[in-house]
């Protein structure tokens, strides 16, 4: 590992654990890091746009393989096993290579991987302090956005941790209208003819992001700004009716964005504090994100004119989370979030709102095992017709084998 002569903050040190120069010092092709994450649960009812369903279920169970390919490249493969309507489904969440020895703080990642927009998205869901991602993530990113593409990242040689990057992706799961919904509802359906007629762009998503962080006393902070351009984010005239029908039952096992637009803006912030500077025994994490989605009204495909639906507010959403690990074995968290979206009906939009207040209590026997009890109060206004409800989730997350360092 090449050393530098500038001071590195706690944030930079934490992020370096997953940087291009420190992915895997020991695992090699002859001795790869192999791990599995087991996620099981019981839930008393369903949540809109969430992957977990009512009753017993298998959640986001992962099998991962990673290693340094040589002194120039690192590679990782992550397969995900889930249950949906009694069927076992196997998917590939990550399959990428990344450079290890590019000069000047640059690195390139190519293949299938998690986008680095926002704070939570580049983290695996089993590392979360709650059983599901916030509603804003489920609405605008399909819970966690991973895709086939390429990333160019740069880490600046500054006292503060400062990184920036650009990405481009295929973007199938971020397509407007039924462009991603039909896949999760069982492949070919009545909307296939619509998809065949629309000329989707092969590279649908472009992103740009920057993140900066440092230390304050016994704490560390990080703030970020992200932009996502979705070339296939608008519906075209005539598709909105099919969209409304598809979204009416849009719940459970969702990996596609439910609401899309051409432009998505994200601001995020996280602060971590430990009473004596030792995060192992006690620490507090406060985080939040704000999303704004614009330019989503349908356009006429031939004339590229915006659909006449009157003045409509931009879609937006946010959450604020606080998690306190008050002993090495116990942590408690609270989270509140709100999502305001627009659903097109005929020639006008209907505003829809979802509010979620959540409390979680988790027992960690070790770094590799977690049992979590979570209570969620959801309140929906015209949101897929859901009623106010109370959701109870009992979840376990167990890790087998070597597992890489978590993101900051």
* Range in 79-83, 195-199, 244-248, 344-348 the model is least confident about: 244-248
Instruction: Give φ, ψ of 125 to 5 degrees.
Output: -65, -25
The arithmetic mean of pLDDT across residues 54-71, rounded, is: 91
What is the β-pairing status of strands 389-401 and 205-216?
A: unpaired
pLDDT > 50? residue 356: yes
Q: Domain 10-401: which topology?
A: Porin (2.40.160)
Token output for 54: 């009512």
> What pLDDT does 406 receive?
67
This prediction's pTM: 0.84
Tokens of 290: 């704000």
Q: Is the pLDDT at 8 greater than 70, yes or no?
A: no
* Cα–Cα dist 59/80, whole Å: 9
Which of residues 98 and 348 earns the better pLDDT score?
98
Reported as a single tens digit per residue, the pLDDT across 148-166 is: 999 999 999 999 999 999 9
SS3 of residue 243 by DSSP = helix
If phi over 0 gives left and psi between -120 and 50 gives alpha, with beta otherwise, what is residue 159?
alpha
What's the pLDDT at 48? 85
pLDDT > 70: percent of the chain: 77
30-47 residue pLDDT tens: 678 899 999 999 999 888
Give the tens place of pLDDT for each residue, 222-277. Answer: 999 999 999 999 877 655 444 444 443 444 445 789 999 999 999 999 999 998 77
15 membership: H or E segment, kind and range? helix 10-16
Summary mean pLDDT of the chain: 82
Q: What pLDDT score does 26 carry?
A: 58
pLDDT tens-digit series, residues 296-335: 988 764 444 455 445 678 999 999 999 999 998 999 999 9
Q: What is the DSSP string of 268-310?
A: EEEEEE-TTS-TTT-EEEEEEEEEEEE--S-B-TTT-PBP---
What is the token pair recorded at 55?
């009753």
**Three-class DSSP category at 160:** coil
Question: Token digits for 173?
Answer: 């799961």
């Amino acid at each position: 590992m090449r050393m530098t002569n500038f001071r590195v903050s706690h944030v930079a040190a934490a992020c370096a654990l997953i940087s291009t120069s420190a992915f895997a010092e020991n695992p090699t092709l002859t001795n790869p890091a192999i791990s599995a994450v087991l996620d099981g649960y019981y839930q008393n009812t369903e949540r809109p746009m969430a992957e977990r369903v009512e009753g017993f279920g298998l959640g986001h169970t992962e099998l991962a393989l990673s290693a340094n390919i040589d002194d120039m490249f690192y590679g990782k493969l992550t397969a995900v096993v889930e249950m949906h309507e009694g069927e076992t489904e196997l998917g590939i969440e990550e399959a990428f290579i990344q450079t290890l020895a590019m000069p000047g703080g640059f690195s390139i990642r190519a293949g299938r991987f998690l986008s680095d927009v926002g704070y939570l998205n580049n983290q695996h869901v089993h590392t979360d302090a709650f059983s599901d991602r916030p509603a804003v993530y489920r609405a605008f990113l399909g819970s966690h956005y991973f895709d086939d593409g390429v990333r160019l990242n740069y880490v600046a040689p500054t006292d503060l941790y400062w990184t920036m990057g650009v990405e481009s992706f295929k973007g199938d799961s971020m397509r407007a209208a039924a462009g991603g919904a039909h896949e999760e509802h069982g492949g070919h359906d009545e909307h296939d003819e619509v998809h065949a007629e629309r000329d989707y762009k092969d590279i649908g998503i472009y992103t740009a992001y920057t993140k900066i962080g440092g230390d304050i006393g016994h704490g560390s902070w990080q703030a970020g700004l992200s932009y996502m351009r979705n070339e296939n984010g608008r519906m075209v005239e005539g598709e909105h009716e099919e969209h409304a029908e598809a979204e009416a039952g849009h719940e459970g096992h969702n990996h596609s964005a439910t609401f899309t637009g051409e432009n998505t803006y994200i601001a995020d912030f996280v602060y971590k504090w430990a009473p004596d500077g030792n995060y192992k025994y006690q620490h507090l994490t406060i985080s939040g994100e704000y999303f704004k989605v614009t330019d989503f009204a349908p356009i006429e495909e031939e004339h590229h004119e915006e659909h006449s639906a009157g003045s409509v507010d931009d879609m937006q959403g946010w959450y604020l989370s606080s998690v306190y690990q008050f002993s090495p074995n116990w942590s408690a968290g609270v989270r509140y979030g709100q999502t305001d979206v627009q659903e097109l009906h005929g020639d006008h939009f209907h505003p829809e709102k979802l509010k979620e207040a959540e409390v979680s209590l988790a027992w960690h026997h070790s770094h590799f095992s977690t049992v979590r009890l979570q209570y969620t109060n959801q309140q929906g206004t015209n949101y897929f017709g859901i009623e106010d409800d109370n959701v109870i989730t009992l979840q376990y997350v167990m890790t087998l084998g070597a597992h890489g360092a978590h993101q900051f």
